[in-house]
Structure 1
């Protein structure tokens, strides 16, 4: 059964995003595995997750991986003292391995901040496109645990294992981001040819033995992650240009650049992953079929609900990876993003890029603390909720608690402090009889009356300006 996607609405006027902009395929195919379907349902209830892009690139404060890609795009620019020639820049970039020493690495600090903010799952970049592995792979020495890397002497040098273990202890669902393309291995970018763009730089059909080595390399690395890192719930695969040629959608601009068949045998990889991790959710981004178990609109939010599982991955700052002095979204922007996404039935995966010292920018902790204060009051209308028509009217966004007669209406504020009008109109046509209306975070009794298209809630004069609420007010309606 295949279903068409809906149109999208950008939440902010301008996002600074790198790499693939359109990370949605046009068709969705259910996984067809009961264990996977159940885990997807469990994941959908979590609503709020943490994404982390981290690697040697954080030392330069540049975009993750993309500056070594020989494409003339805004996010691939090579700047600084090494940028005069491509080869010189790439050599200096790869030499960052020899200075990477994030001695402030303390995943328990991240767990506490993320948990307090109401996050329920984590996706960590075990390997980005540049090929540098943040785990102790046996397939390459280009890794954080290599003797070439200063941090390898640290007892916590296998940072993927440390992160997964720390978050798992606090009952987070665990996700391994893994880049299918690898711009370091000679079996993807063969040194015999110069790299031309993001794609493999030779024809796999002309050199099948070399491509087979790349397939084995990829399979073995994913097998390591599925075998040696405890319980893993999500395999989040990026780099959608590594795909069977038959799956290329030529109506999507970036996919038109895929000239070769880059089939890595996803059925074999998924079968192995699920044999080692039963019920594993596989997210093969943009490659339609039963291995794209949920879709991942990047830096955007659907205008209306989608009829399949989805997650918006959005940066807290302007960039995916650490940039000194990055501009972080306000608590108000993040909370309202979460409300908008959840009202459409999706999850928010919020990215924070750790710095070269192994910690987040202090501003990120401040933002999470502000989100925490809001979630402690309003989380009941976020978790395990479903979209409900009309989804939103004006500045009011709706969610419905699963398997109950409870609807939440979130009135988004145009400033940090919530100022309520004398009357709040809730547009819900199908409610026959309302039993109770409350304002989350307030003990004040509210009066309401049912009208043709919903209910009108009267807000006492004192409560209008002194509710003590920030970012968005949540009304709980039991019927």
Structure 2
């Protein structure tokens, strides 16, 4: 029976869209700067990093499906109609017995991220399915209570964080506020019609208080037992105080129960920051003092934003491992990074390891190509802020603390480098020296009618590059 269920699910997966739109987190339109001085300092340091990796890895890697969303019974989810919902859930929970990533290699992940030019990481300690990738004491539904339990690196999160720390990364712990495996969130007494808690919290306060304590205890473990943590990245924005549900949230289209799903983030934050001073807390889409930066998902804001934000975007079509996934080109990622940074944000690129615990060579190669460009042009990305005039068609502008301006001209993918590039606005100061970051060479430029034209050295024009970055000073 188990084999028949698996075969049916695999067949269904082949026809499934890789990423459903209904589970994307939209972006808040309200931002509140943190009052804590240490948090503000860390936030500015994080804004200098610009490029990070988010790693989704859990039970869903075994069959290669879109994270844990298939457990959620909503209209946008498709499942094989010959498989009952209960049978599907039992099959999914049972993947715990199959998840044995004996090739788990966090050093490989960290090196690939380093080679890509990334500077911070967010690792999924627990997704919505409730399967824990750390040795929590609150439940046995975890990586350290299964076939991987006796592996020397069974406490996965610990070794992921250690590997990335050795490479100098800021460390982020992703944690899902909803937990579909917990009987205190999805009570087995009732059906599970959607992503929300499946009982009336107002009538069952004891049960909800048990869940709040469960979440508090798990985050307490992460904050106290896993070394220095810079970011607590809280997913599941529908789990929120009822008073924060506004028209913006209703516009998402997801079901909203008439009771508050408040897990008491202020209490959690007080404990977490006592253990990790200056900790950034990212309570996604719950605008207020605990959304220290915003996280638009799978898209870039239309205009420059003056407050902290990051676009979280996948390298392939899904957050986690999916067989035969199609990865974005290095040029596409570089162009995305340039636009994001010019608009004041950071790029958090999603990469999913295989069920064996390694990255695929295609992922590693793609990351290395991105890093090769950043090695030569990183001054236009790292430690910068947006210019007042931040975009001219496909040319994006950033500036550094010293007042230097950078123009990043994104070139059509796969075409020869042109002999000249032009943009409108941000005229160089008269007589200033303009350099090409990739080589350090001085380049000739001219300005007429608010249009700057730069001559590209012939040696550069003979080679393909996804973008050219120029440095110069503006003004009279």
- RMSD over aligned Cα atoms: 1.8
**Structure 1: how far apart are the matches of 2:22 and 2:166?**
33
Instruction: Look up the match of 1:185.
Output: 182
**Structure 2: how far apart are the matches of 1:114 and 1:362?**
13
Residues 290-345 of structure 1: per-residue CA shift (max 9 Å, x gap): 00000000000012111210000000000111100001001111111111111111
Alignment of 1:35-434 (within 5 A): 35-73=38-76, 76-79=77-80, 84-146=83-145, 149-250=146-247, 251-401=250-400, 403-416=401-414, 418-422=416-420, 424-429=421-426, 431-434=428-431
Further displaced range: 226-235 or 435-444? 435-444
Decide whether the 8 Å contact of 1:19 with 1:66 is kept in 2. no
Instruction: Look up the match of 2:468.
Output: 473
**Structure 2: how far apart are the matches of 1:153 and 1:322?**
24
TM-score normalised to the size of structure 2? 0.92
Cα 1:129–1:220 change in 2 (3 A) is same
**Structure 2: how far apart are the matches of 1:57 and 1:256?**
24
Shift of 1:15: 8.9
Residues 408-441 of structure 1: per-residue CA shift (max 9 Å, x gap): 111111123551233x334334654352111122
Residues 61-86 of structure 1: per-residue CA shift (max 9 Å, x gap): 1111110111121xx32349xx6100
User: Match of 2:23, SS?
Assistant: coil
**Structure 1: how far apart are the matches of 2:172 and 2:113?**
15
**Structure 2: how far apart are the matches of 1:303 and 1:139?**
42
Decide whether the 8 Å contact of 1:390 with 1:427 is kept in 2. no
Decide whether the 8 Å contact of 2:26 with 2:285 is kept in 1. yes
**Structure 1: how far apart are the matches of 2:460 and 2:91?**
59
Decide whether the 8 Å contact of 2:22 with 2:254 is kept in 1. no
**Structure 2: how far apart are the matches of 1:417 and 1:385?**
28
Decide whether the 8 Å contact of 1:65 with 1:129 is kept in 2. yes
TM-score normalised to the size of structure 1? 0.91
**Structure 1: how far apart are the matches of 2:194 and 2:306?**
35
**Structure 1: how far apart are the matches of 2:403 and 2:232?**
35
Shift of 1:124: 0.5
User: Match of 2:397, SS?
Assistant: strand
Shift of 1:387: 0.7
**Structure 1: how far apart are the matches of 2:310 and 2:169?**
16
Decide whether the 8 Å contact of 1:189 with 1:200 is kept in 2. yes
**Structure 2: how far apart are the matches of 1:252 and 1:43?**
30
**Structure 1: how far apart are the matches of 2:288 and 2:49?**
24
Unaligned runs of 5+ residues in structure 2 are 1-16
Cα 1:361–1:100 change in 2 (3 A) is same
Shift of 1:464: 6.4
Cα 1:309–1:381 change in 2 (3 A) is same
**Structure 2: how far apart are the matches of 1:242 and 1:368?**
34
